[in-house]
Copies of this chain bind each other. A is one copy, B any other.
Amino acid sequence: MSNITFDLRDNGMIVGLPEGETYFNYYWLRDACQSSIDPQTRERVFDVTQMKSPPRAISAMVRDDVLVIDWRDEAQPSHVPMSLLTEVAANGRAADPAALPRKLWYSDHLPRITRVEQNAVLNSDEGRARLTRALIEDGIAIVTGMDKTTEALPRLVNSIGPVTPSAEGLFFDVRVEIAPTNLAFTAGPLEMHTDLPGEENAPGVQFLHCLENTVEGGLSLFLDGAAVAEALRAEDPEAFALLASHEIPFFYRHDNWDYRAHQRVIETDPDGEVTGVTISQHLQDNMDLPQDLLDVYYPAFVKFIRMMQEDRFTLRFRSQAGNCVVFDNHRIVHGREGYVADSGSRHLRGCYTDRGALRSTYRVLMQKGVADISPPASALA
């Protein structure tokens, strides 16, 4: 890298990287100096707002793969690793091991769902890496061989992140109740939904641990909401744009709580990529968009929900005692067929952690160099 050129401008410099000339802002370069981060707390200790004047470079050179910059108004030079500059030039940002592309899936996904033994998750970095990677890429995985005790669930969750509470508390039990606070706690069918959209921050990652299931019916239903959203974008871009642009209200209400929040039905990131969906007709409040906008919004909304009922998207399977389905509650839409209440017992125990904790756990494993690729299916017990 001895022949790198520098063109020092007023607010930044053009660096002649081998990959091409790339502009870097001076504030950014000053903030990116290695000395800006305290090695003990790992926090930023340089405060850009304390500079008396905007940073202005007077010279730049590369030494030992580090860009060394002398500043007009500072005694000390800054040191920025060239590897950071090439990363930013290539991707616009530093690498994030958890920024794995989503793999959309359809109704034929069942045989390919990632399955990891409880003991592999609890006792090995590799098991934990396979589970967390599947949750980031596919949004769903099954942990098998769970103990059929109430302690098994918190043990599993805590290997990924802290249990985040909802209005129902830290854990909830899905079974027939006498005075249900929620349609889930009946034997009726439960239409496709994401959980608790009435909370400002709807739960991120959901766990459903099956403790018992001997009833007739009651098949579990799952679909990839991001796959349905992308199908809608392909088939009806205007409907997609409406659902991705406007927020509608949801609630969760009973004697002691009255949660309300607005959510976009299709959630996109600043690049326009689908990051999730929110759907829950039984917790949907009266829409409060302008009434004339509803003339076009409602048909788009109805179309999207009907797409979710198409067979091409839906996985159907019987929850087995000892399994725990884990899924991204902002992406994976779930439901249940009705069942015959007195034909046996059905008891799922559930809770949540958040997606930030999931990605944090995966990053730490990757930084330790843990392998996260599943062994071939034949190697799985």
| Residue A355 at the chain B interface, CB threshold 8 Å | yes
| Residue A349 at the chain B interface, CB threshold 8 Å | no
| Residue A288 at the chain B interface, CB threshold 8 Å | yes
Q: Verify B258–A367 contact, CB threshold 8 A.
A: yes
Residues of chain B lying within 8 A (CB to CB) of residue A292 = 12, 23, 25
Residues of chain B lying within 8 A (CB to CB) of residue A38 = 183
| Residue A27 at the chain B interface, CB threshold 8 Å | yes
Q: Would you give the 0/1 interface string for A21-62, flagging 1 where the beta carbon is closer than 8 Å to chain B?
A: 011110110011000001011111101110100100000000
Q: Are A306 and B49 also in contact (CB < 8 A) when A286-B28, A288-B92, A364-B258 are?
A: yes
CB-based nearest B residue for A295:
B11
How far does the alpha carbon of A281 sit from the alpha carbon of B45 in the complex, in Å?
A: 8
Q: How many residues of A contact B (CB 8 A)?
A: 92
Q: Would you give the 0/1 interface string for A295-327, flagging 1 where the beta carbon is closer than 8 Å to chain B?
A: 100110110011001000000000000000000
Q: Verify A88–B302 contact, CB threshold 8 A.
A: no
Nearest-Cβ distance from residue A299 to partner chain B, whole angstroms: 7
Q: Verify A259–B356 contact, CB threshold 8 A.
A: yes
Q: List 20 A-B contacts (CB under 8 A).
A: A12-B291, A23-B292, A25-B294, A28-B287, A40-B180, A43-B282, A43-B283, A44-B282, A48-B281, A49-B302, A49-B309, A88-B291, A93-B249, A94-B286, A162-B167, A164-B164, A200-B201, A200-B204, A200-B356, A258-B360
CB-based nearest B residue for A245:
B270
CB-based nearest B residue for A44:
B282
Q: Verify A200–B281 contact, CB threshold 8 A.
A: no
Which residues on A are within 8 Å of B, measured CB to CB?
Answer: 11-12, 22-25, 27-28, 31-32, 38, 40-45, 47-49, 51, 54, 84, 88, 92-94, 96, 98, 162-167, 169-170, 179-183, 186, 191, 198-201, 204, 247, 249, 253-262, 270, 281-288, 290-292, 294-295, 298-299, 301-302, 305-306, 309, 354-357, 359-361, 363-364, 367
4 extra A-B contacts, CB within 8 A, seeds A12-B292, A12-B295, A47-B191: A31-B284, A41-B180, A164-B165, A262-B270
Q: Verify A363–B44 contact, CB threshold 8 A.
A: no
Q: Are A27 and B254 also in contact (CB < 8 A) when A261-B356, A282-B45, A360-B259 are?
A: no
Which one of B179, B182, B287 lies within 8 Å of A43 (CB-CB)? B182
Q: Verify B165–A163 contact, CB threshold 8 A.
A: yes
Which one of B42, B191, B200, B306 lies within 8 Å of A254 (CB-CB)? B42
Residues of chain B lying within 8 A (CB to CB) of residue A183 = 38, 41, 43, 45
Q: Are A291 and B360 also in contact (CB < 8 A) when A43-B183, A49-B281, A182-B43 are?
A: no
